[in-house]
């Protein structure tokens, strides 16, 4: 754990530590001792205060109980009952008799009852309806104002709350209400109200309170004398007359009572509060904590004086050792510490000086080794840069893969190959030109044609070579194991070369050789077949002209002519494709060529119940080329569409749509046939490739159409194919602005 005072020097930390220990021991210890004593004294004071409060409450409660019983004795007096019965006689009695009875009752109460109890300041009598009949000293009007509260009381006797000085009594007082009943005790004749002043109530309880407190509060075991005793009624009103206690303690000005107890009187629900001044009660422990702190401060000062020797002979050598360490850390290896003793500090200084000598010698050797390493590093950097330049300038892809499959080294030429090799999701796109095989005759590591990446990158495989297609390019990849770090499995070194152009050139050469041989064969076939076909056509025409119109042989003769014409057309297409017959170049209006092609194939379409529609742009684009060849291009496309629709065994529609987009004109040939199978799409434009049954097609129609489009600087592509919609798009460069008459210079 780190020293929380690490920023403070030892020469300051050590004296502060000793002083802090002294102050902590005596300050905290003294606080704990004084607090414990204070708490014990406070607990004992509260216990005794509780007993004293209970004693006072019993005295006050007993005094009020005696006063209540005296009021009940007054109410049971036969004279008072007799006068009330006379006042309550039925109507017809003389009012004079009632007035005399009330006067006699008031005089009786004043002379015979009120002087008997010193606490009673006044007496009053109410009839059964709550009307004031007699009041000894107070005016009847003043008593009548408070009479309803006592006339409606259900429980008797009842005691009122605290009443402030009024016209009845000039001091704070309490009213006791008791019933006056008939002799049988079954009927209430009225109520007697006894007004008790606090002075009288407390005077009645003073003897009992004084006896409970005792004459000597300081005697051992005696409860503490309360600083103040006061009463609070259930409504929260506080009596301003304190209960007299013997030998009350003197309270300091402004001191707030700290210790207090409260007890409820049973007879009327009032609360007696007893309080003791905190400063007076806890005076014995007030200065105890200050004395402990003073002793701690004196001991701390003495300890500081005794620290001179440790500071001089322990802290000072440590400070010198620290300064020397800082100098060595800053690079001054000549720093030394003076040795002044033979104890532990001297041994530490000697060891430090030896360490400094060793550090100086080690630093010199490290500097020499560093200079040699710097020279070696420069040589390695030069070799690395030379190697990186060679790798970066390579046209072949170079990839070094670690044992974990991570790329350690690669050059820019490897960018097209990396995703297919390292991304498992894209490895199926890496297609080999042949099935993998191992030199030991075992099964391939990946078990298939499309797993070349697993075979090339397998850590335990030997040398591998493979031709793969990635992103439309063909790579020749050679993979060999390469040594990794010590105690690690070997990685793989892959060298790949893009051989796409070489393969395409080989294919073009093979294609040209095939066409050359085909041209020679076509020339011989044309020479050998044209003469017999000419004779067949001549005699077919003679025979057709000689036969009457209704001859049964008319259809057979026409079929001979159509087949002979088909043979001539096939031989002509073959010669045109292989020999590249020269074109008659001129301005060709595309819309005119499209209309001519539609007229040419319309009879065939009508027979097959197929509609041919034209959807031409507003302006007629003009291209430079051979009009016959351009027309032949569209005838071939329409014928291909007719044959595709007819293969479905139902009628359909072929649409020729043109549009002009900038400097190019595009023509879409759209049919609603079954579409081109996915397996046939890659070879669709190859010569002699056809999906028609044997004897129904030569496979030269689309190949001838593409060759014508390319001869005119355009393109022919399969734009879209699906069941119900196939689109072939031919595009050309527009040579004459749309809308200008053909033959007129711009």
pLDDT tens-digit map of 491-527: 888 888 888 888 777 777 776 676 677 667 777 777 6
CB proximity list for 729: less than 8 A, separation 6 or greater: 666, 667, 668, 669, 715, 716, 717, 719
pLDDT of residue 728: 92
pLDDT of residue 739: 46
Q: What is the dihedral of CA 273, 279, 284, 286, to 10 degrees?
A: 140
What digits encode the pLDDT tens for the residues 356-369?
888 888 888 898 99
pLDDT of residue 430: 65
Instruction: With beta carbons less than 8 A apart as the criterion, state whether 725 and 741 touch.
Output: no
Q: Which residue has the higher pLDDT, 28 or 661?
A: 661
Q: Is the pLDDT of residue 691 over 60?
A: yes
C-alpha Rg value of the chain to the nearest Å? 66
Domains observed in the chain: 10-24+289-358 (no CATH), 57-204 (3.30.450.20), 396-494 (no CATH), 499-581 (1.10.287.130), 584-746 (3.30.565.10)
Q: Which two tokens stand for residue 537?
A: 């056509």
- Residue-by-residue DSSP string for 435-457: ----TTS---SSSSSS-HHHHHH
How many Å apart are CA 587 and CA 570, to the nearest integer? 28
How far from the centroid of its chain's Cα atoms is residue 16's Cα?
Answer: 50
pLDDT of residue 252: 44
Angle (CA) 147 151 155, round 5°: 130
User: What's the Cα-to-Cα distance from 28 to each of 25, 40, 229, 284, 289, rounded to whole Å?
Assistant: 6, 18, 38, 19, 9
How many Å apart are CA 671 and CA 656, to the nearest integer? 9
Rounded to two decimals, the pTM is 0.37
Q: Is the pLDDT of residue 1 over 60?
A: no
- Residue-by-residue DSSP string for 162-200: -B---SS-SS-EEEEEEEEE-TTSSSEEEEEEEEEEHHH
How many Å apart are CA 632 and CA 44, to the nearest integer? 128
What digits encode the pLDDT tens for the residues 10-29?
667 667 777 777 666 666 76
């Amino acid at each position: 754990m780190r020293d929380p005072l690490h920023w403070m020097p030892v020469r300051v930390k050590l004296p502060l530590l000793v002083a802090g220990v002294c102050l902590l021991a005596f300050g905290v210890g003294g606080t704990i001792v004084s607090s414990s004593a204070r708490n014990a004294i406070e607990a004992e004071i509260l216990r005794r205060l509780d007993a004293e409060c209970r004693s006072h409450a019993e005295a006050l409660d007993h005094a009020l109980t005696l006063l209540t019983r005296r009021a009940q004795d007054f109410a049971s007096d036969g004279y008072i009952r007799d006068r009330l019965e006379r006042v309550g006689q039925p109507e017809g009695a003389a009012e004079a008799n009632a007035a005399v009875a009330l006067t006699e009752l008031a005089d009786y109460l004043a002379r015979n009852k009120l002087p008997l109890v010193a606490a009673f300041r006044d007496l009053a009598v109410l009839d059964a309806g709550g009307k004031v009949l007699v009041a000894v000293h107070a005016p009847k009007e003043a008593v009548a104002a408070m009479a309803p509260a006592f006339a409606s009381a259900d429980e008797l006797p009842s005691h009122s709350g605290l009443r402030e000085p009024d016209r009845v009594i000039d001091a704070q007082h309490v009213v006791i209400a008791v019933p006056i009943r008939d002799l049988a005790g079954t009927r209430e004749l009225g109520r007697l109200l006894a007004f008790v002043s606090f002075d009288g109530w407390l005077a009645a309880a003073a003897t009992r309170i004084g006896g409970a407190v005792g004459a000597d509060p300081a005697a051992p075991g005696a409860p503490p004398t309360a600083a103040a005793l006061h009463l609070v009624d259930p409504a929260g009103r506080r009596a301003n007359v304190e209960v007299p206690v013997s030998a009350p303690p003197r309270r300091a000005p402004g001191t707030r009572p700290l210790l207090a107890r409260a007890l409820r009187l049973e007879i009327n629900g009032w609360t007696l509060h007893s309080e003791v001044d905190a400063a007076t009660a806890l005076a014995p422990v007030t200065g105890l904590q200050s004395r402990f702190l003073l002793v701690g401060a004196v001991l701390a000062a003495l300890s500081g004086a005794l620290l001179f020797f440790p500071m001089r002979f322990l802290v000072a050598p440590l400070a010198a050792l620290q300064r020397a360490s800082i100098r060595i850390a800053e690079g001054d290896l000549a720093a030394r510490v003076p040795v002044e003793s033979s104890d532990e500090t001297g041994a530490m200084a000697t060891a430090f000086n030896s360490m400094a000598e060793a550090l100086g010698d080690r630093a010199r050797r490290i500097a020499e080794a560093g200079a040699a390493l710097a020279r070696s590093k420069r040589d390695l950097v030069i070799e690395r840069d030379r190697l990186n330049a060679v790798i970066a300038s390579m046209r072949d892809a170079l990839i070094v893969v670690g044992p974990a499959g991570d790329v350690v080294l690669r050059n820019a030429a490897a960018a097209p190959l990396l995703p297919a090799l390292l991304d498992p999701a894209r490895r199926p796109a890496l297609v080999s030109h042949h099935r993998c095989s191992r030199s030991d005759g075992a099964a391939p590591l990946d078990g298939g044609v499309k797993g070349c990446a697993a075979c090339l990158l397998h850590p335990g495989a030997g040398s591998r070579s493979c031709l793969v297609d990635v992103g439309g390019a063909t790579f020749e990849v050679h993979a060999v194991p390469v040594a990794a770090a010590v105690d690690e499995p070997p990685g793989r070194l892959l060298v790949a070369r893009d051989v796409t152009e070489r393969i395409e050139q080989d294919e073009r050469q093979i294609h040209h050789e095939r066409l050359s041989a085909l041209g020679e064969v076509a020339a011989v076939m044309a020479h050998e077949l044209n003469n017999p076909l000419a004779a067949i056509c001549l005699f077919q025409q003679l025979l057709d002209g000689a036969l009457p119109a209704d001859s049964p042989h008319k259809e057979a003769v026409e079929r001979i002519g159509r087949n002979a014409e088909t043979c001539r057309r096939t031989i002509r297409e073959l010669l045109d494709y292989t020999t590249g017959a020269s074109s008659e170049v001129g301005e060709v209006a595309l819309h005119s060529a499209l209309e001519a092609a539609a007229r040419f194939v319309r009879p065939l379409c009508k027979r097959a119940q197929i509609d041919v529609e034209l959807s031409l742009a507003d302006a007629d684009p003009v291209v430079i080329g051979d009009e016959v060849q351009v027309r032949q291009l569209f005838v071939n496309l329409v014928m291909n569409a007719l044959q595709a629709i007819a293969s479905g065994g139902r009628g359909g529609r072929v649409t020729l749509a043109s549009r002009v987009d900038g400097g190019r004109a595009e023509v879409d040939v759209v049919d609603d046939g079954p579409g081109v199978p996915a397996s046939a799409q890659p070879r669709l434009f190859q010569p002699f490739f056809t999906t028609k049954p044997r004897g129904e097609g030569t496979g030269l129609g689309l190949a001838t159409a593409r060759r014508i489009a390319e001869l005119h600087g355009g393109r022919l592509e399969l734009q879209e194919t699906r069941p119900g919609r196939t689109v072939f798009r031919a595009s050309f460069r527009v040579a004459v602005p749309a809308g200008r008459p053909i033959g007129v210079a711009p």
